[in-house]
Structure 1
Amino acid sequence: MKMKPNPHLTNRKLWAIIPAAGSGSRFSKTEFKQYQIIENKTVLEHTVNRLNDLPLAGYVLAIGAQDNYAETLHFKNRQNAHFCLGGAERVDSVLNGLNYLAQFADEDDLVFVHDAARPCVTTQCLENLVKVAIEQETSAILAIPVRDTLKCVENDQDISKTVSRDYLWQAQTPQISTLAKLKKAIEVALANNIVITDEASALEYSHEPVQVVMGRSDNIKITYPDDLELARLILQAQQQILQ
């Protein structure tokens, strides 16, 4: 399904940055999770192809210095692919991607940032996120309300208290903002030694409004080896719905 042209996007372009330089140590000490195979494609190909269901002007993959594999992959709309050097941490890769984009993109263009190992995001969620960002003129993220009971565990696996779920949401990606707002927010946060866990945390530090857009629980991030099988089942189920 293709996103219908939005009149508010007429003079602005939509880009995506995919930080893909991390080793994913929780997945494996030797293997990269973004290059694991599901249904004859790498996780990264699934991720990039899903983003390209939207009318992207281009997408930037921030990859490791020794990565000679990413540029050989068969991405959708390969002619719109750009590559830049990633950084030591995810936030560094995102900033490198923004600096790369700033060479030719307009500062008011919209930029998605999406995890390389999140291949199951639906086109509808992507469209909803863009719609909110444009119509509300705000930065926005996909997220879902926390469902489970949360426990605070401090020492020796002993529960110290139960944490209220009220007002708590689990952040997902993509997260979207303008090129200028996101670049400045990350630069300011890093200059002040603020820990940046996602793009929204940098925007929050700069007092930029960020709106939550309802995501889906099947927009999983592959973190551990058994997540691969879950992602495979989700992608198969999504494909059956489209058929």
Structure 2
Amino acid sequence: MSQLIQSHHKLWVILPAAGSGSRFSKTELKQYQMIHGQTVLEHTVARLNHLPLAGYVLAIGANDHVAKTLPLAHRDRAHFCLGGAERVHSVLNALDYLSAIASEHDWVLVHDAARPCVSLGSLEMLVHTAIEKDQAAILAIPVRDTLKRVAKDQAIEHTVDRLMLWQAQTPQMARLGSLKRAIQQTLKDGATITDEASALEHVGEPVCVVQGRSDNLKITYPDDLELAKLILAAQS
């Protein structure tokens, strides 16, 4: 893996961590909840640092006085920048920060700070696929459940064919310059950016899907924290 990356420019990670996480709690940030003696963010950073990273950038809020005090894995690789009002602005701020210290041809993985259960196997497959295909790639899983389109009155309109549907996860990986230009253009056009892939799609950049795992949980609601604890315990 190290040899593959070294021959195809450096590998960086961006962790947007400036959001309020209001669906989790009005007062507590989900990335600083404790699991097995470490914060969620520490678990996430440790997982990502199994890859041979050149560095990782945490985009944090102006009033966040916690992130820089944590004993993060490979602290010598850690960089910090100010996050933005929305996730996309945090990612763009981090890309701007990286542009001053990295090549636009370097690879960047953007990963949710509150997604601590991503497996090393999934990370390695994502990186290998993106580099081998020389195009952006994301982790995702095929939709398993039957999907219904529902009207405003909660009545089912019809069943949605799930054959071609995948549920996007993170990390999402692209060349630094390509991702930065895609986000800038998509914002300029006023289009909606729900994840990094949606910005790349908007400007016509191909993005491939790498099948991930269902245990790559994103902590969104309070009960997700308990599930993450079980997953991490089982993985260890």
TM-score by length of 2: 0.98
In the alignment, which residue of structure 2 is the partner of 1:162? 159
**Following the alignment from structure 1 to structure 2, what is the Cα–Cα distance between the partners of residues 216 and 12?**
27
> Any unmatched runs of 5+ in structure 2?
none
In the alignment, which residue of structure 1 is the partner of 2:99? 102
Q: Per-residue deviation at 1:8?
A: 5.5
Q: CA offsets per residue over residues 204-233 of structure 1, 9 Å max, x none?
A: 001000000010000010000000010000
Bigger mean CA offset, 151-160 vs 182-191: 151-160
Pair 1:19 & 2:16 matched: yes
**Following the alignment from structure 1 to structure 2, what is the Cα–Cα distance between the partners of residues 7 and 117?**
28
Q: Which one-letter code corresponds to 2:26 in the other structure? A: K
Q: Which runs of 4+ in 1 moved over 6 A?
A: none
Where does 1:71-220 land on structure 2 (aligned, <5 Å)? Answer: 71-220=68-217
**Following the alignment from structure 2 to structure 1, what is the Cα–Cα distance between the partners of residues 121 and 8?**
23
TM-score by length of 1: 0.95
Where does 1:41-52 land on structure 2 (aligned, <5 Å)? Answer: 41-52=38-49
Question: Paired residue for 1:53, among 50, 61, 66?
Answer: 50
In the alignment, which residue of structure 1 is the partner of 2:66? 69
Q: Per-residue deviation at 1:7?
A: 3.6
Q: CA offsets per residue over residues 26-78 of structure 1, 9 Å max, x none?
A: 11111111110000100011001100000000000000000011000011100
Superposition CA RMSD, Å: 0.9
Pair 1:9 & 2:6 matched: yes
Pair 1:229 & 2:226 matched: yes
**Following the alignment from structure 1 to structure 2, what is the Cα–Cα distance between the partners of residues 218 and 145?**
13
Where 2:217 maps in the other structure, the secondary structure is coil
**Following the alignment from structure 2 to structure 1, what is the Cα–Cα distance between the partners of residues 185 and 73?**
34
Q: Per-residue deviation at 1:161?
A: 1.4
**Following the alignment from structure 1 to structure 2, what is the Cα–Cα distance between the partners of residues 86 and 17?**
11
Aligned residues: 236
